Amino acid sequence: MRLEGWARPRARPRVDERPIRRYRAVFISDIHLGTRGCQAELLLDFIRGLECEQLYLVGDIIDGWRLKSGWYWPQAHNDVVQKILRMGRKGVQVTYIPGNHDEFARAYCGVHFGGVVVAQEAVHETADGRRLLIVHGDAYDGVVGYAKWLALLGDWAYAIVLQLNTWFNRARRRLGFGYWSLSAYLKGKVKNAVQFVADFEAAVLDEARRRGLDGVVCGHIHKAALRAEGGLLYANDGDWVESCTALVEHPDGRFEILEWAKVRSWSVLDRRRAPSVDETEPEAAGEAAIA
């Protein structure tokens, strides 16, 4: 039986469809899988539609410190691992540089796991010929290096602040406001924390200068930054517990920091009011690109 004038209705586009984002290299760190503060859903949202030649995991991907005190591993955390392994199997050069929270992985430096190579550090050559030191950064943190007990105490206090940050942003979403990091704000207001960041940045830049390199990419301090200083490039890719940031290199060698929590939080945290794909552009919320 044929019905004249009837046609099958067109399928509605999926909410999470978006253009492919292509970069030469992507740097992410401080994901802290295994903790309640990890923003795994937002990271999965970032990885979907991402294409790159190289992916650097710049430490603290898994939080061994937290997992020792109590097991927490929801499905989203497992999905992150599976997505990264899948990227490696599809030809992306994935380099995993362990940090202090996943220092257990340093015993496997030089080993390949399903397309992922584990390394103590790396040197990345950009499209325009610059050579950058890639390190997590804990080796240049005096607290971690010389007073680990103090670092563990600070980690405990930090976990409490992150939990407050989670509750705070749940309240903001109910009131119709976007994501805002309470923990990052508090750190910025503490004089000692500000001095610590300055000392850390100076230390990693000095190491790059000593080796005759053109700059450094690191993580560790959960503070994204991208700037030229003293003829060197300082880039920190931030974290995925507070700011949800990634550092990307464009095909021409330009670098940019993407603040994903500001760009795509609607797609994970409030699908009921998800806008169309054309209403947001991932690069729009990134810091100004730097050559």
pLDDT digits (tens, 9 = 90+) for 188-208: 554 455 566 678 899 999 999
Interatomic CA distance for residues 202 and 263, integer angstroms: 30
Interatomic CA distance for residues 280 and 126, integer angstroms: 28
Question: Could you give the percent of the chain with pLDDT greater than 70?
Answer: 66
pLDDT at 161: 59
Q: Which amino acid is at 225?
A: A
Q: Which amino acid is at 144?
A: V
Q: Which residue has the tokens 């406001």?
A: 177
Mean pLDDT of the chain: 79
Q: How confident is the model at residue 238 (pLDDT cuts 50, 70, 90)?
A: very high
In a domain, 7, yes or no: no
In a domain, 243, yes or no: yes
In a domain, 8, yes or no: no
> In whole angstroms, how far apart are CA 178 and each of 36, 249, 269?
20, 27, 10
Does residue 259 have a pLDDT over 80? yes
In a domain, 231, yes or no: yes
Structural domain count, the chain: 1
In a domain, 15, yes or no: no
In a domain, 141, yes or no: yes
pLDDT digits (tens, 9 = 90+) for 4-60: 444 444 444 454 556 789 999 999 999 999 999 899 999 999 999 899 999 999 999
pTM more than 0.75: no
Interatomic CA distance for residues 58 and 96, integer angstroms: 6
Give me the CATH number covering residue 109.
3.60.21.10
Range 127-133 average pLDDT: 98
